[in-house]
Amino acid sequence: MARYVPIAAKESTAAQLLDMTVSEFRAGVASGQLPDGKDIAGEKRWDTRLLEQIVAGDLIDGNEEIVW
């Protein structure tokens, strides 16, 4: 069976995708190093494509601050 990556992930899944514990993930969100989730139908979810772009370094050029 094929595996899939959801386009919007709950907190524990987002943390797992980054190979982090939930508390490490929460600390990254709290410090602004990771974006906060978005409210989708009353539940907080993280955009997995955005998380991929962060890991790849595609969102920064080193000359500006990141604003989530």
Q: How high is the pLDDT of residue 63?
A: 57
Q: How high is the pLDDT of residue 37?
A: 97
Q: Whole-model pTM above 0.85?
A: no
Q: How high is the pLDDT of residue 67?
A: 66
As to burial, measured by CB atoms within 10 angstroms (0-12 exposed, 13-18 middle, 19+ buried), residue 58 is exposed
Average pLDDT over residues 13-37: 96
Q: Return d(Cα 68, Cα 65) in angstroms, integer.
A: 10
pLDDT band at 57 (very low <50, low <70, confident <90, very high): confident
Q: How high is the pLDDT of residue 61?
A: 63
* pLDDT of 64 above 80: no
DSSP letter, residue 62: S
